[in-house]
Amino acid sequence: MYFVAINGSPHKDGNTAFLLKKGLEQLRLQGAQTELLHTGEILKSMAVPFCTVCSAPCQGICAKGTLLEEVLHILRKADGLLLGSPVYFGTVSGQLKAFWDKLRCLRGEKQLLNVVGGAVAVGASRFGGQEGTLRAIQEMMLVQGMTIVGGGQKDYDCGHYGVAAQHPVNEDQNAQERMIIMAKRLFEVSQATQSLRL
């Protein structure tokens, strides 16, 4: 099983990355291979970091010769994705949105169809827009046809919409526990749906 975490924060070592790394660590403990991608780095490698719909259907022309070209190959192999973002004005960061828009070619190829996804959001306060951000991430995944992991049952609950964390996350024990549960559910559901993926 192969899982990719996508850090939508402009900071490689910030709160969002901290939680994503914790999730990847749990996935590795279960025997999975993992990868962590930083949207800021990927977008910096591109002449035009925002989608301009240069071709329809998308042929991934803008990715040629950039870090995104390599990333597309990585994502085509994924069984599950963890998408994380800090809360910016009640929704996802510009970096995550711009990166996700660049994945139009994967939608045309149905490469993320039935890939299992989980969402992570970090706000500056306990009620700092995390649930709205989680829903935005889920909506982005739904357009790709992904299978979303949300809250489990009472004893196995990663959060209704995903992991909602408060800055600083290294002090947010609840979020760290929810991240471990999310990773376990991501692995479990990915295994159960493996035959549905290309």
Q: Is residue 198 domain-resident?
A: no
> β-pairing, 80-86 with 116-123?
parallel
Query: Which residues constitute the domain of residue 175?
Result: 2-192
Q: Is residue 81 domain-resident?
A: yes
Instruction: Give the number of domains in the chain.
Output: 1
Q: Collapse the DSSP code of 30 into the 3-class scheme (helix H, G, I; strand E, B; otherwise coil) and give the result.
A: coil
Q: Which pLDDT score is estimated for 44?
A: 94
pLDDT in tens, 15-26: 999 999 999 999
Structure confidence at residue 119 as a pLDDT band (50, 70, 90): very high
Closest alpha carbon to 68 in 97, 35, 39: 39
Q: Which pLDDT score is estimated for 153?
A: 64
Residue found under tokens 């004893």:
155
φ, ψ dihedrals at 121, nearest 5°: -135, 140
The conformation of residue 19, written as its DSSP 8-state character, comes to H
Strands (E) in 46-179, as ranges, are 80-86, 116-123, 147-148, 163-166
pLDDT in tens, 125-170: 989 999 999 999 999 999 999 999 987 666 677 778 899 999 999 9
Q: Which pLDDT score is estimated for 37?
A: 98
Q: Is residue 39 domain-resident?
A: yes
Q: How far apart are the first and last CA of the chain?
A: 14
Beta-carbon neighbour count of residue 43 at 10 Å? 21
pLDDT in tens, 64-102: 999 999 999 999 999 999 999 999 999 999 999 999 999
Q: Is residue 131 domain-resident?
A: yes
Q: Is residue 150 domain-resident?
A: yes
Residue 188 has pLDDT above 80, yes or no: yes
Residue found under tokens 């042929």:
59
**CATH code for the domain of 14:** 3.40.50.360
